[in-house]
Amino acid sequence: MAATGRAIMPLGSHHQEAGLLLRGPRGLVLKLDDGGEWRLDAPRSAEHHIGQRVHIEGTRDGFDLLAVERIAPYGSELHDQREGFLKRFARMIRGR
C-alpha cells in the first residue's frame, strides 16, 4: 500500500470496470459510479457505445489509461474486441 493508504495499481494490471462511456477532450473516458474515471485506449468500434453504461475489461497502460480488450453494454456479455467478425460469426454458426 502507498503512504496514503491506497493500494498501488501497477502498469499492466488487469481491470474490469463498469460506468458511463463519454467522449472527453482527449478521447474516450469511462466515468465510474464512485466518481473516478479512466481514459481509454479503445478501438473505434467502442464509439457506438458513447453515452451508454458499459462493462470494460482492459490493462492499465498509464496513470489513468486503460487499454481496452473488451467492451459491452452494461448487463451483456463481454466480447474480445481483438477477435475478428468472421471468427465471431463462425463461432455463432457452430453454436458456441
Domains of the chain: 14-94 (2.40.50.500)
Is the Cβ–Cβ distance between 60 and 10 less than 8 Å?
yes
- State pLDDT tens for residues 2-52: 444 445 567 788 899 999 999 999 899 999 988 899 999 999 889 999 999
Of 11, 15, 82, 86, the closest CA to residue 43 belongs to 82
pTM for this one? Answer: 0.70
User: What type of residue is 65?
Assistant: L
| Grid cell listed for 42 | 479503445
- State pLDDT tens for residues 45-83: 899 999 999 999 999 999 999 999 999 998 877 655 555
- How far apart are the C-alpha atoms of 42 and 3, rounded to whole Å? 32
Is the Cβ–Cβ distance between 62 and 88 less than 8 Å?
no
Terminal CA-CA length for the chain:
42
